Structure formats: C-alpha cells, structure tokens
Amino acid sequence: MAETHSLQDFQRPAVSSKVFIQRDYSSGTICKFQTKFPSELESRLDKQQFEETIQTLNNLYAEAEKLGGSSYLEGCLACLTAYTVFLCMETHYEKVLKKIDRYIKDQNEKIYAPRGLLLTDPIERGLRVVEITIFEDRNIGSGR
Amino acid sequence: MKNCEYQQIDPRALSVSPLSAQSHTEKKDQRPRRKWEVFPGKNRFFCDGRLILARQSGVLPLTLGLIVVTCGLFFAFDCPFLVKHLTVFIPVIGAALFVFVVISLLRTSFTDPGILPRATPDEAADIERQIDTSGSSTYRPPPRTKEILINQQVVKLKYCFTCKMFRPPRTSHCSLCDNCVERFDHHCPWVGNCVGKRNYRFFYSFIISLSFLTSFIFGCVIAHITLRSQAGKSLVQAIQESPASVVELVICFFSIWSILGLSGFHTYLVASNLTTNEDIKGSWSGKRGSEESGNPYSYNNIITNCCVTLCGPVPPSLIDRRGFVPPDEVIPAASSASEMELPHFSAKNDVNMCTQSTKDVLERMVNSGSQTLCSPGTPKTTPLVQELPGTAAPSPEPPPSAGCPGLLDSRCPFFSRSSEKDSLHSINPAFRLASPSPSLTRTAVTLNGAADVGFMPLHPGSARDEAP
C-alpha cells in the first residue's frame, strides 16, 4: 500500500547484507584490494564490471602512493619548510583521494545504484575494506 | 500486499550528511558530535579535533621545558659574549635550529601517527564468519592469524582483539594509546605520542635537528668558557662569571649521548626500512644472513629506503577526527576488548586495569624513559578501554574533551540507540563469554540491539558481547 509508506522508506530501503572486499597485501603495504568476485553479488552484478571497478580503484591508490620525483620533491619541500607548507597546500595523496571519491560517486550512480548496491569509499573504513551494501529488492526489479 | 516498485537507490540520499539526516529523525536533542569526541582509543584531542595527543602525555612538557630553558639560557648568557668575540651568525643558527626542533617536536606530538580506525560491527561480524570453523562450539576462540605472501615471503597477520580486525602488515597495537598504528615504530614518552607511519619523518627530523642543536650549544658553550678563561682569567673564574653555561653544559652533555645514539640508530632503521618494533622483535634478522634479504619491505637500496621513509607520500589521517558521527552509528568495538579475549585474560585484565593501570603505565614510562624507547605494544596487554564504575579513571587527569566513551559514560548516547541493520548477521556462538564482568550488566540493560536474532540471552555479558 503505497500511501502508507513514509518518505523515508523510499529513500532508505532496508539493508539486506554487506560484502567486504579485503585488502590484498601480496605486493606489500601499498593500498590494493582483492579483485576476487564475491559470490553474494553474483545475482546483481557482472564479474567483469566489478573487477573493473576494483582495478581502477587499485590504480588510483597506486597513483596516490607512487614514489617518484614529484613525491620526493614534495617531501623535501615540506621538510625544508618544517612541514608548514601543508597548512596551505594539499598533498598529492589528498588530491588523488578526492579523485577516488568522485569516481566512486560516479560508479554508484551509473552502475551500482541501479542494481540496488552501494559502494562505500574505503577511506571511510580506514582503507581496510571496500564495503558494498546490498539492499533488499522490494519487488522483482531487474537491473535497469 | 505491497505494490510499491523497486526503488532505485539514490546514493546521495543514502550517504546523506548527518546534519540533514538529523533534521528528519526524531532524536531532536542530540547536537552533531564530531568523531573525535567518540573516539575509542586513549587519546586526547585539542582544537576541536585538529590536534591529537596520547592520553599519557608522558614527559613531553619536560622535553619542551628542557629545550626551551637550555636555549633560553644560551641566548641570554652565551650569545652576547660570542657575538662580540666571534660572529653574529651564532644566535642566528641557534635560533633557526631551535625553531626547527620545536616545530618538529610539536608536529610529532600532535600528529596522528597512523591510527587505524576500529572495524565497524559489520566488518567484525564478517571477519568472524570467515574465520569461524563451522560447528565449533568450544568457547576457546580459534587461533587468530592469517598468513600471506609479501614479495615471496610469508608474513603472519595477527588478529587484533580490540580493534576487531586483522592487522595489516607492520601494524601494531599500542597498549598505551589503545590503538592499532600503521608502521608502528614505538611509543615515545618524550614526545607523548606513538611514532608511526605518518609522523615518523617528523620524529626523525626532530631527533636529527636536536642532535645538531645540542652539539651546537655544547660547542658554543665550550668556546665561550674557553675564550673567557683565555683572557687572563682562570677557568674557575670564567665559570663564576657565567654560571648559566655550566647548566647548559651539563644538560647538553647528558643529552648528547642519548640523542646522538638514538639518531644513529634511527638512521640505520631508515636506511634498512625497518621499524624499531621489528628490530627489537628480530622479525627479519636471523632468517638469512644479512638483514636486507630478510625484510620484504626493503628496497635493498639505502637511498631508496631513505627516500621512501622520509620523503614518500603521507596518507591522510584515517580516523577523520573532525567528521561528524552519523546519527545511527553505534560505536564499533569501543569497549568490548575484554569479551574477545579468553575468559581468564579478561578477568585478569579487569582486575589489573582497575587497580594497577596507572602504576603499569608509570612504570612503563620510567623504563622506557631510561632506555629512550618504549617497548612495542603487544596485543595481550591491551588495556580495557572501558572505565568501570566506582574506580577512578586510570589516567591521572581525566580530560574533559577525551574521546573515550567508556561503556558507562552517560554522555555517550550511542548505546541507547538501536542498531537493527547491524544485527542482521548471525552471531558466532563460539564467542560466548563464560564469565561476564558485573559492570557490563548495566550496559546490557541500556543496549537495545533491537534484533533478537543475534542475542544469546545466556549471560548479560555475552549479550553485550554479541551486540554489534
């Protein structure tokens, strides 16, 4: 009975379960997530799409943590100014994190939300996991 | 029968900011709390969460005091003479070094060392499910280690009972701060904070610049006294004319040994990409001949190791101190350290932490003060975060803005909030705690983990335990 539903019901469907994609430490302590496709998502999402999302995230984090001339330069400049330069400047890492945030929002809008899923930005979970929330199907809704 | 259609999820509505969410909820009397206010670790926060310090500030005031007093005496008593007889650059160099030392020290002390936020209840439940051997009904939890391969070397990841997660490699739990810290080096009482991934470079620049400063002051004071005694006066007379110099000499003489030694040690650690924790435990030595081949994180190149450790990119703070707490969130794993340990541990810990925590910490500080290093935190001695009723808070001065929401802290409304969403997962029966501590009963009453699905109403303690 649609009229008895409050506005909140429509905005916040019930959570059915959550899937956690853990970190992959095979290359060391860099931030990388496992690309193994979880079985709980089989009914909702393509394996290939999922892997693409995770792989892009991994690449973005690798870019944030990349060791190279520019990051060393940033580090040296910071040291020379007694680290006060970061009061006015954003670090490279933070810039990439913003990029990641935009990417995740974009993925949610285009791919995950239409399938009743929600990706949570790993930074909100301390870069430990990628949390995918699976929402209940109220009706049999095939992915749009 | 419901005939509402499948509603496309609007991600914007779901990840809504807590302020607007609160305007819809009926909980009208909660002002939005920042995450630092409900932080479960033992830390203190200043400037509305911008600055973080360990709860035991240790001897940081002493460190600052010594530096300021020594430099003050230097500028007041030695510099005028030296400027006249040598060069004006002496106070300039001294001032630059002093400023650098103080800034590095403050940055080391007030920066988040790389604290890992504790696992959310859902994550913890998910991990439990994964490691639970099916059908195990013994209450002794299975061994909590996971082996992974890093650069073809086997590394064991341990499960942290306090933070409810498998610790990433090189992460260790600091028992003084009650946090898991990434690339944990040590807890430094001189600096009043843990030294970890995010503030190691500040710590290193602090000790290096302090070495330069103490050597510089030492040299200048010697020059000062020598010059005075050369001008026809005896040494004793020279000292009598400038007694402050003796004070500085004594302070510098004793600090130089330890500071130079520490700088040398940390330079070795930086060059081989090791942490104090790993070095003390001998994690990588003894596996093969040389230390480089054992350490899977080393780049086998001194320059690269140095650059990576000191100039590499710094990740931002993961604990998001100034963010707002979402209104529905129950604080994860805040004070349930005891339930996850074996019962005899928890009982012992209870007693220990009630009666001896301050003494332990002070002893540890004294011990580490004498070695200038503190032992790395170990999981088994994780102190309980909860503050039991009737006992004084373990810390000497309970800070008003501390973010530690002990179980029974009535200011924290979180435990009275329901958490339907989080209790959807089945709870591992092997987790039942045999002997609940009496203090938990009060909390169990206030908790309304609404889903009765996960509750085992056997003991009040375990009810609290299983409420995610």
Q: Is residue A39 part of a domain?
A: no
Please tell me which of B201-205, B411-415, B432-436 the model is most confident about, judged by mean pLDDT.
B201-205
In this complex, is the C-beta atom of B322 within 8 Å of any C-beta atom belonging to chain A? no
Look at residue B208 and tell me whether its pLDDT is greater than 90. yes
Q: How high is the pLDDT of residue B395?
A: 40
3-class state of residue A52 by DSSP: helix
Spell out which residues of chain A touch residue B183, defining contact as CB-CB under 8 Å.
29
In this complex, is the C-beta atom of A15 within 8 Å of any C-beta atom belonging to chain B? yes
Asked whether residue B235 falls in the same domain as residue B247, the answer is: yes
Q: Is residue B445 part of a domain?
A: no
Lowest pLDDT segment from A21-35, B168-182, B249-263, B423-437: B423-437
Look at residue A78 and tell me whether its pLDDT is greater than 70. yes
- pLDDT band per the 50, 70, 90 thresholds, residue A6: low
Asked whether residue B110 falls in the same domain as residue B235, the answer is: yes
DSSP code at position A129: -
Cβ–Cβ < 8 Å for B306, B271: yes
| B39-69 confidence digits (pLDDT tens) | 787 788 877 777 787 777 778 899 999 999 9
From CA A119, how far away is CA A113, in angstroms rounded? 9
- pLDDT band per the 50, 70, 90 thresholds, residue B363: low
Asked whether residue B71 falls in the same domain as residue B98, the answer is: yes
From CA B420, how far away is CA A139, in angstroms rounded? 22
Q: How high is the pLDDT of residue A4?
A: 57
- Restricting to B residues 106-135, those with a Cβ less than 8 Å away from any Cβ of A are 107, 116-117, 119-120, 122-123, 126
Q: For residue A85, what are the domain limits?
A: 20-34+44-135
Q: Which residue has the tokens 């596996």?
A: B287
Q: Which helix (H) or strand (E) holds A120?
A: strand A117-120
- pLDDT band per the 50, 70, 90 thresholds, residue A125: confident
Asked whether residue B194 falls in the same domain as residue B258, the answer is: yes
Asked whether residue B155 falls in the same domain as residue B102, the answer is: no
Mean pLDDT for B25-41 is 68
Q: What percent of chain B has pLDDT over 70?
A: 59
Look at residue A137 and tell me whether its pLDDT is greater than 60. yes
Q: How high is the pLDDT of residue B256?
A: 93
DSSP code at position A79: H
Question: What rounded mean pLDDT belongs to chain B?
Answer: 69
- pLDDT band per the 50, 70, 90 thresholds, residue B286: low
Compare CB distances from B297 to A15, A29, A116 and report the shortest one's residue: A29
- pLDDT band per the 50, 70, 90 thresholds, residue A11: low
- pLDDT band per the 50, 70, 90 thresholds, residue B29: low
Q: How far is CA B214 from CA A5, B259, B279, B321, in A?
A: 72, 9, 27, 36
Q: Which helix (H) or strand (E) holds A64?
A: helix A47-64
Asked whether residue B106 falls in the same domain as residue B69, the answer is: yes
Lookup: tokens for B58: 């240790």
Task: Count structural domains, chain A.
Answer: 1
Asked whether residue B209 falls in the same domain as residue B259, the answer is: yes
Lookup: tokens for A85: 């330069």
Lowest pLDDT segment from A31-45, A92-106, B227-241, B374-388: B374-388
Q: Is residue A121 part of a domain?
A: yes
| B103-134 confidence digits (pLDDT tens) | 999 989 988 899 998 888 888 888 888 776 54
Spell out which residues of chain B touch residue A117, defining contact as CB-CB under 8 Å.
9
β-bridge mates for residue B160, sequence order: B165
Q: Is residue A80 part of a domain?
A: yes
Q: How high is the pLDDT of residue B45?
A: 80
Q: Is residue B306 part of a domain?
A: yes
Q: Residues B426, B428, B429, B435: what is their CA dihedral angle, to the nearest 10 degrees?
A: -120
Q: Is residue B5 part of a domain?
A: no
Q: Is residue B418 part of a domain?
A: no
Q: How high is the pLDDT of residue A143?
A: 45
Mean pLDDT for B144-151 is 80
| B366-404 confidence digits (pLDDT tens) | 555 444 444 444 444 444 434 444 444 444 444 444 444
Phi, psi of B381 (to 5 degrees): -100, 20
In this complex, is the C-beta atom of A108 within 8 Å of any C-beta atom belonging to chain B? yes
Q: What percent of chain A has pLDDT over 90?
A: 18
Q: How high is the pLDDT of residue B301?
A: 85
Burial status of residue A134 (CB atoms within 10 A of its CB: 0-12, 13-18, 19 or more): buried
Q: Of B437, B454, B459, B431, nearest to B139 (Cα)?
A: B431
Q: Is residue B347 part of a domain?
A: no
Asked whether residue B127 falls in the same domain as residue B241, the answer is: no
Q: Is residue B151 part of a domain?
A: yes
Asked whether residue B130 falls in the same domain as residue B83, the answer is: no
Task: Count structural domains, chain B.
Answer: 2
Q: How high is the pLDDT of residue A5?
A: 54
Cβ–Cβ < 8 Å for B94, B75: yes
Q: Is residue B424 part of a domain?
A: no
Q: For residue B149, what are the domain limits?
A: 117-167
The verdict on a CB contact (< 8 Å) between A83 and B168 is no
Q: How high is the pLDDT of residue B299?
A: 82
Asked whether residue B229 falls in the same domain as residue B93, the answer is: yes
Radius of gyration of chain B (CA): 27
Longest CA–CA separation in chain B, Å: 108
Q: Is residue A109 part of a domain?
A: yes
Phi, psi of B325 (to 5 degrees): -80, 130
Lowest pLDDT segment from A46-55, B196-205, B244-253, B342-351: B342-351
Q: How high is the pLDDT of residue A10?
A: 56
Q: Which of A6, A29, A74 should be substituted to probe chain B, the one whose Cβ sees the most B Cβ atoms within 10 Å?
A: A29
Q: Is residue A5 part of a domain?
A: no
Q: Of B52, B30, B22, B29, nearest to B401 (Cα)?
A: B52
Mean pLDDT for A76-84 is 79
Asked whether residue B285 falls in the same domain as residue B157, the answer is: no
- pLDDT band per the 50, 70, 90 thresholds, residue A45: confident
Q: How high is the pLDDT of residue B450?
A: 41
